[in-house]
Amino acid sequence: MSFKTDEFEDYKLVIAGLDNAGKTSALIALRQKYNFYERVKNLKPTIRIDYSSFRFLHTRVNLWDMGGQAKFRKIYIDNPIYFTETDCLYYLIDIQDELKFQESAKYLYNLLEIYRDLEYKNEIAICFNKYDPKYKQNPDFADRAAMIKNLILTQNQDMKFVFFNTSCYDISSISRAISHSLNKILNLEEVSSELNRLVSNFYCNYAILYTDSGLIISDCYRDSMDTREFENVISNKLNDDLEFFQRLKDEQVNIDDRVTFSNESAEYVKRYVIESGQSNNVFYLGISAPPQRLNEIKIELEKAHPILETTLQ
């Protein structure tokens, strides 16, 4: 963490990349979840830096959306102070724009030189952005991502990386990417163990714990699920849930639970309210399971409240 305030710990998350890499579009999609397409389509380039923040439990996450135009990139490179006290760096690469791969790799190299001087030790999250659903099964895009990944790892063996395919047309991909770094703030071993137990004992497709703003706290999936099944089935369900949670929040509607049925499975969502100091935090636990096990699962999810309370207060 960078430093503490009276109420929250501050967490600095820097998002960088070339102009038109989709940095701001991804953040808008993550925040809004639905009806954002016109706003994204008419976006203008970020001027210098766009600052924003949001609360994640006891942490204030400060987002630094770094404008990607060449004139701004030069300012950043010449003034490393912009990158001090970074807790996590996300670097977005437009996977659709092959002509800019070399330029993007060079800018990443310059940024990493600064972070080496700053003795940055955390992971760097590389997002192959604009990896839209229609390209997920395209071998050319898979080859592009593999080539860039290999280049980055070969040139930077002293640093730690994690890679994601993201798209503003697949909100769950952005949520999973951002959640990856934020979850390091929490001690999630007990929660993860509980989700694994549910998936294993009740033959669930998945169990996912979300914040009410749609960030994924912890998730567990059926071991036998292949990549294509995840992309075609689970991602769509996650996107539906994320939009649903955002509508509940926007319309100030509270529900205790919800159940729907699809493809021989029951999709169940339970709401938890965890008291924390003088405020309450809302979480949702979504689970996909055989319909005949649903009543048993509801009982188990009632028992999970103390575990969540201990971890998430």
Q: What backbone torsions phi and psi does residue 250 show, to the nearest 5 degrees?
A: -65, -35
pLDDT of residue 230: 67
Cβ atoms 26, 129 nearer than 8 A: yes
Model-level pTM greater than 0.95?
no
Does position 310 have pLDDT exceeding 60, yes or no? Answer: yes
Q: Which residue has the higher pLDDT, 6 or 293?
A: 293
**In the predicted model, what is the mean pLDDT of residues 105-127?**
96
141-200, pLDDT tens digit by residue? Answer: 999 999 999 999 999 999 999 999 999 888 888 988 998 988 888 878 888 899 999 999
Rounded CA separation 167/92 (Å): 11
User: Please, which pLDDT band fits residue 225 given cuts at 50, 70 and 90?
Assistant: low
Q: What domains sit in the chain, N to C, each tagged with a CATH number?
A: 3-184 (3.40.50.300), 188-312 (3.30.450.30)
Cβ atoms 82, 49 nearer than 8 A: yes
Rounded CA separation 17/289 (Å): 40
pLDDT of residue 162: 96
9-67, pLDDT tens digit by residue? Answer: 899 999 999 998 888 888 877 776 555 445 555 655 565 788 888 888 778 889 999 98
128-152, pLDDT tens digit by residue? Answer: 999 998 998 899 999 999 999 999 9
User: Please, which pLDDT band fits residue 305 given cuts at 50, 70 and 90?
Assistant: confident
Q: Which residue has the higher pLDDT, 6 or 285?
A: 285
Cβ atoms 104, 93 nearer than 8 A: yes
User: Please, which pLDDT band fits residue 5 given cuts at 50, 70 and 90?
Assistant: very low
Three-state DSSP class for residue 97: coil
pLDDT of residue 116: 96
> Which contacts of 135-142 are long-range, i.e. CB under 8 A and separated by 24 or more positions?
135/95, 135/96, 136/165, 136/231, 137/228, 141/95
**In the predicted model, what is the mean pLDDT of residues 70-99?**
94
